[in-house]
């Protein structure tokens, strides 16, 4: 008789139980979110399992992507380390600190707190450090530097991070000594300030190996990376729901942009680069956008 087995199939029972557990799980997760159970304050740390899970996710995500950028063969030259030290002094030390230098007070209030990078090379390969520095880490407070440091400067920071574990506070100070920089000032002979290493462009960049993104994607990225989405809703660009500034759509059909500029690539790019030169009373800040980036964004806005 096959009758009983048709009425009770263990396989079907397992499937039904599995589906029920799935539905309950999803409902539980929805309730967890909806009732605001998770503490998002920066003073309340993540629960240990969440913290560990995030760390593993970060490690795997970086490793998976980083191999697209193998380090240049001459990564560890003295010039690179010196340039990297200057970039680190100008861009990173406020949050991460350095040998003998504490992070700024605000950084200690962040969650996750920016770690000391002295031992970063123990967990990360050079290409990982490059990837993290270039792309940042979502929802952690680690900024993306792709639009703020040149290709060569990014690799120099990596070279510096590689040299960091063996660096004494005195060596760090000597390497970054400058009269104007944010780093501690070493009082030296008059020429010392001029000799202080600079972050901008002294060492050649390796040729980029990754093919550039399509223009539309580059423009969408540019809007996010230059903070436009903090104030404007832009078609096709993910961002917060904001009305600080007007929605940027249908600009091509308009008489004037920002009340004054013409809706051409030239006019729009000029507005994006320096709105306050066009209208001294505008609430839109001048953000230090390069000509190339401004044109990229202007072309996007005129076609979306």
Binding-site ranges for ligand HEC (CB under 6 A): 91-92, 94-96, 107, 110, 112, 114-115, 117, 120, 123, 129, 132-133, 137, 140-143, 145, 157, 226-228, 230-232, 244-246, 248, 257-259, 268, 271-272, 279, 282-285, 287, 289, 297, 301
Query: 265 or 279, CB closer to ligand HEC?
Result: 279
Query: 196 or 229, CB closer to ligand HEC?
Result: 229
Residue (of 230, 244, 216) closest to 301 by Cα position? 216
Shortest distance, position 300 Cβ to ligand HEC, whole Å: 9
Shortest distance, position 205 Cβ to ligand HEC, whole Å: 16
Shortest distance, position 302 Cβ to ligand HEC, whole Å: 10
Query: 54 or 192, CB closer to ligand HEC?
Result: 54
Query: 128 or 177, CB closer to ligand HEC?
Result: 128
Query: 85 or 95, CB closer to ligand HEC?
Result: 95
- To which residue do tokens 């070493």 refer? 186
Shortest distance, position 149 Cβ to ligand HEC, whole Å: 6
- Measure the CA–CA gap between 160 and 13, rounded to whole angstroms: 59
Shortest distance, position 222 Cβ to ligand HEC, whole Å: 8
Shortest distance, position 166 Cβ to ligand HEC, whole Å: 17
Shortest distance, position 47 Cβ to ligand HEC, whole Å: 17
Q: Show the 3-state SS of the chain.
A: CCHHHHHCCHHHHHHHHHHHHHHHHHHHHHHHHHCCCCCCCCCCCCCHHHHHHHHHHHHHHHHHHHCCCCCCCCCCCHHHHHHHHHHHHHHHHHHHCECCECCCHHHHCCCCCCCCCCCHHHHCCHHHHHHHHHHCECCCCECCCCCCCCHHHHHHHHHHHHHHHHCCHHHHHHHHCCCCCCCCCCCCCCCHHHHCCCCCCCCCCCCCCCCCCCHHHHHHHHHHHCCHHHCCCCCCCCCCCCCCCCCCCCHHHCCCECCCECCCHHHHHHHHHCHHHHCCCCCCCCCCCCHHHHHHHHHHHHCC
C-alpha pair distances (Å), 116 with each of 50, 92, 113, 251, 282? 21, 10, 9, 46, 41
Query: 12 or 254, CB closer to ligand HEC?
Result: 254
Q: CB neighbours (10 Å) of residue 204?
A: 13
Distance of CA 30 to the CA centre of its chain: 29
Shortest distance, position 172 Cβ to ligand HEC, whole Å: 14
Query: 196 or 261, CB closer to ligand HEC?
Result: 261
């Amino acid at each position: 008789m096959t009758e009983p087995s048709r009425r009770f199939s263990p396989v079907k029972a397992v499937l039904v139980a599995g589906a029920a557990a799935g539905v309950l799980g999803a409902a539980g997760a929805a309730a967890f979110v909806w009732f605001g159970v998770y503490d998002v304050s920066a003073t309340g740390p993540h629960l240990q399992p969440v913290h560990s899970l995030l760390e593993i996710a970060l490690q795997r995500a970086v490793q998976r992507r980083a191999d697209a950028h193998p380090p240049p063969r001459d990564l560890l030259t003295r010039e690179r380390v010196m340039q990297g030290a200057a970039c680190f002094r100008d861009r990173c030390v406020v949050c991460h600190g350095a040998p003998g230098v504490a992070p700024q007070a605000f950084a200690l209030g962040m969650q996750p707190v920016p770690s000391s990078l002295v031992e970063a090379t123990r967990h990360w390969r050079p290409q990982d450090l490059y990837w993290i520095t270039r792309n940042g880490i979502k929802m952690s407070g680690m900024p993306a530097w792709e639009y703020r440091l040149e290709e060569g400067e990014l690799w120099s920071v990596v070279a510096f991070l590689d040299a960091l574990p063996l660096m004494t506070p005195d060596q760090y100070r000597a390497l970054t000594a400058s009269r104007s920089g944010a780093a501690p000032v070493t009082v030296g002979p008059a020429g010392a300030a001029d000799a202080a290493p600079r972050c901008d462009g002294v060492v050649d960049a390796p040729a980029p190996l990754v093919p550039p993104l399509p223009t539309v994607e580059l423009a969408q990225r540019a809007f996010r990376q230059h903070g436009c989405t903090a104030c404007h809703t832009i078609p096709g660009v993910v961002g917060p729901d904001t009305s600080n500034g007007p929605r940027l759509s249908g600009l091509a059909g308009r008489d004037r942009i920002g009340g004054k500029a013409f809706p051409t690539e030239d006019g729009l790019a000029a507005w994006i680069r320096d709105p306050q030169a066009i209208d001294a009373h505008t609430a839109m800040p001048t953000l230090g956008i390069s000509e190339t980036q401004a044109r990229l964004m202007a072309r996007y806005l005129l076609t979306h």
